[in-house]
Amino acid sequence: MKLLPLTALAGLAASPALAADMAISVEVPRLSVAEYHNPYIAFWLETPERAHVQDLAVWYDTEMRDDEGETWLKDMRQWWRRSGRALDLPVDGLSRPTRAPGTHEMNFSAADFTDLPTGEYRLIVEVVREVGGREMLEIPFQWPPSESQTLTARGEEELGELTLSLSPSSE
């Protein structure tokens, strides 16, 4: 199991919440454009006051020669400002390759959120595509969930359906 980087938790004094699971599903739309590149996407958690809490994943071109993919990370400008610029990339368990159009799922278990206090959060998903556009989606949620729930948001251009599934853990 991998522990995800935790930052900006200072300020949040409450004790860690009860365990729960999280699944994120994101649709990378197939776009009819002359020059298509897979999108860069950052997933992270914020407080309602926009304080960065925890990165979940960043998808970028991890295979380019001389780590050139990292030169475009700044274009996910909110993520870059709130977290990325302070990281020593690549980060194990955080950096992942880009994905082609289609629906992709990521699953997180209770162990990934052992330090996440009870409270209100937002899942933020920021996407940017080379020779393309940028878009940012958010889904507010309560942690830990009291019952299983599925929350959704929908992008206009660069993202299709975004789904956040939460369920109380059986642990």
Partner 1 sequence: MKTTNRALKGALLATAVAAALPAAAHAHRAWMLPSATVLSGENVWLTVDAAAANTLFHFDHRPMGLNNLTVHAPDGSTLEPQNVSQGAYRSTFDVDLVQNGTYNVEVLNDSVSAVYTDENGEEQRFRGTQADFAASGLADRDDVTPSYNTSRTEFFVTVGAPTDMTIQPSGVGLELEPITHPNDLYAGEAARFRLLQDGEPLADQELEVIAGGQRYRDAEDAIPTVSDENGEFEVTWPEPGMYWIHAEVGPGGRNPAPGARSAAYNGTFEVLPQ
| 33-60 burial code (b ≥16 CB/10 A, e <16) | eeeeebbbbbbbbbeeeeebbbbbbbbb
Q: Which is nearer to partner 1, 66 or 92 (CB)?
A: 66
Choices 1-9, 61-69, 121-129, 155-163; region in contact with partner 1 by CB under 8 A: 61-69
* Residue 63 touches partner 1, criterion: CB under 8 A: no
* Residue 71 touches partner 1, criterion: CB under 8 A: yes
The most distant pair of C-alpha atoms in the chain lies apart, rounded to whole Å, by 51
* Residue 167 touches partner 1, criterion: CB under 8 A: no
* Residue 85 touches partner 1, criterion: CB under 8 A: yes
- Using only the alpha carbons of the chain, give its radius of gyration: 16
Sole binder of partner 1 in the list 39, 84, 132, 145 (CB under 8 A): 84
Sole binder of partner 1 in the list 43, 59, 80, 113 (CB under 8 A): 80
* Residue 77 touches partner 1, criterion: CB under 8 A: yes
> What are the distances in angstroms from CA 72 to CA 44, 60, 64?
18, 8, 11
* Residue 73 touches partner 1, criterion: CB under 8 A: yes
Residues found near partner 1 in the complex (CB under 8 A): 66-74, 77-78, 80-81, 84-86
